[in-house]
Structure 1
Amino acid sequence: MQNTDFERYYQQVRGKQKRDTVLWSLTLLALYIASGNISEFSLQTLWSSLPHFFDYLAETVPVLHWNVLFADGHTEGSLAYWGYRLHIQLPLIWETLNLALAATILSVIAAVVLAFLAADNTQSPPIVRYAIRTAVAFLRTMPELAWAVMFVMAFGIGVTPGFLALALHTIGSLTKLFYEAIESASDKPGRGLSACGAGTLQRMRFALWPQVKPVFLSYSFMRLEVNFRQSTILGLVGAGGIGQELMTNIKLDRYDQVSMTMLLIIIVVSLLDALSGRLRHWVVEGKAV
């Protein structure tokens, strides 16, 4: 009898879950179709224009010939001829990496401090929490490109507008992620320290920080990769770095140099991804891999 009742209850729950799944799926599909109609999205246009995208990619593929592959830079079809602007692009890649790293380090330091002040469970004054949350919401609402355009108009073309644009947006994004991680931390260690007479700063240092440090590191390394990619885009509006080289090559139809620039960006992003994983493992677990 009990098995029969349980089976009936199980089938009722399963049926309700299936109905909810179908209902929500149909709702999302209807919203997706409606938004596509409002934005004038057309699958026919996408399908008919898609070959042009691959045509552009084909234009960027360099022309290399095996018989002269390792010839000097004056021989068309050689690797040296393809990379004849490497002496310009490599310093720009290094500049872009430094820009992303400097903006990320400054932003992480600022975001850690602001996050502890903005979290609900750190006993900071309510007016301080509200002010910080409002400020960082504004910072992350403005896209990096919008910040960069304003700073280029104020400071001129160079790395300063890119640095400020990345730093402000990163502070806004990381502060929100950080204070949400702090609020999700367990309060048991903090209560234990309070019972021993620990103050607010001691509870933050010995109860909250050990719990949130791995999360902070993960977000910080992820943001470093994002900032490097974003810094290449900011160069398109004159904010310094390899993005300016990419934009120049696109405007001048130097398709082979577009592919070389993109290849350098992909290599650096891949190296950053591998390096950040190793650093995170080393810092969190205390050993390298």
Structure 2
Amino acid sequence: MNTSNIQFEQYYQRVRVRQKREALSWSLVLLVLYFAAGSAAEFNLFTIWQSLPNFFDYLSETIPSLHWSVLFTDSHTKGSLAYWGYRLPIQLPLIWETLQLALAATLVSFAIAAILAFLAAGNTWSPAPVRFAIRALVAFLRTMPELAWAVIFVMAFGIGAIPGFLALTLHTIGSLTKLFYEAVENAHERPVRGLASCGATHLQRIRFALWPQVKPVFLSYGFMRLEINFRSSTILGLVGAGGIGQELMTNIKLDRYDQVSITLLLIIIVVSMLDTLSGYLRQRVLGEKK
């Protein structure tokens, strides 16, 4: 083995030792922080272990008692599918309301966030005070969780879909605007400089140089946010912000265990369908489907 190979092997071993030492040190630091945070939050694994049987007992309570001999009989026969789903005429419109809530909030938020993103980006020639004000505003909007916004709006407007719509819209604007203006700032500058050399205005550079680059990213984030908003809207119903979540909370409070299970099943089915549909639309709109 020549001298260069020996030197390389020694250097490699030193790097490996340093990497292992750093990995061990950071792992120990993170472990200490984890246990310190758990202690401050009174998080106890032993309590969770003791309570697990109660969790599984509750899950077993929600499983409907279906009997094959009467499975397809009318809604008055206990053990039939119709008896289990006797509240479907109430639950299906609430699922539809939840979908409408998520879609309306996403569309409005997408349009507002797209405008704010170009005003907040550092490469779109907007004044610095405007950029700072918009970034501070959207940071505040996304810092407040949807559930907190929903509680505030329920107290202001009462129970219904309006608090849920406003809560989802405000939080989505905050989240999408940040993602959008970062995408704008990461766009290539060469098309912008080319239009500028031809005498194009700021608006024309945005329209013909920046927008074509960021449009696929905007749409992708928009579809992703639609999926998130539907899941969030089911949670907002727990505080009276409309939708299927309100039905779920009512069933839990009234100990209607069989209806808890069918409500959860409906939510899972719709979320799965929405994920599949949004993925298909994303492929079609962004030109990814072959």
Q: Distance in 2 between matches of 1:258 and 1:173?
A: 31
15-24 vs 4-13, greater mean Cα deviation: 4-13
| TM-score computed with the length of structure 2 as normaliser | 0.95
Partner of 1:257: 259
17-26 vs 60-69, greater mean Cα deviation: 17-26
Partner of 2:223: 221
Partner of 2:22: 20
* CA offset digits 1:233-276 (Å, max 9, x no partner): 11111111111111111111000000111111111110111011
Q: Distance in 2 between matches of 1:131 and 1:48?
A: 50
Partner of 2:99: 97
189-198 vs 123-132, greater mean Cα deviation: 189-198
**For 1:182, which of 181, 184, 188 is the aligned residue?**
184
* CA offset digits 1:18-43 (Å, max 9, x no partner): 22211111111111011111112111
146-155 vs 56-65, greater mean Cα deviation: 146-155
What SS does the aligned partner of 1:63 have? Answer: coil
Partner of 1:156: 158
In the TM superposition, 1:12-91 aligns within 5 A as: 12-91=14-93
CA shift at 1:54, angstroms?
1.0
Q: Distance in 2 between matches of 1:139 and 1:286?
A: 32
CA shift at 1:145, angstroms?
1.6
Give the fraction of aligned pairs with identical amino acids, expressed as a percent. Answer: 74
**Is 1:123 aligned with 2:125?**
yes
Partner of 2:142: 140
Partner of 2:205: 203
Q: Distance in 2 between matches of 1:197 and 1:31?
A: 56
269-278 vs 227-236, greater mean Cα deviation: 227-236
Q: Distance in 2 between matches of 1:186 and 1:74?
A: 66
What SS does the aligned partner of 1:122 have? Answer: coil
CA shift at 1:90, angstroms?
0.2
Q: Distance in 2 between matches of 1:19 and 1:217?
A: 44
Query: What 5-or-longer segments of structure 1 have no aligned partner?
Result: none
CA shift at 1:209, angstroms?
2.0
CA shift at 1:8, angstroms?
2.7
| TM-score computed with the length of structure 1 as normaliser | 0.95
Q: Distance in 2 between matches of 1:147 and 1:139?
A: 9
Query: What 5-or-longer segments of structure 2 have no aligned partner?
Result: none
* CA offset digits 1:207-242 (Å, max 9, x no partner): 222222222222211111111111111111111111
Q: Distance in 2 between matches of 1:264 and 1:105?
A: 24
Q: Calculate the aligned-residue CA RMSD, in Å.
A: 1.4
CA shift at 1:125, angstroms?
0.5
* CA offset digits 1:96-130 (Å, max 9, x no partner): 10011000000000001001110111111000000
**Residues 9 and 193 of structure 1: CA distance in aligned 2, closer, same or farther (over 3 Å):** farther
Partner of 1:112: 114
CA shift at 1:286, angstroms?
6.5
CA shift at 1:198, angstroms?
2.5
CA shift at 1:203, angstroms?
2.1
Partner of 1:212: 214
163-172 vs 145-154, greater mean Cα deviation: 145-154
Q: Distance in 2 between matches of 1:77 and 1:121?
A: 64
Q: Distance in 1 between matches of 2:211 and 2:177?
A: 15
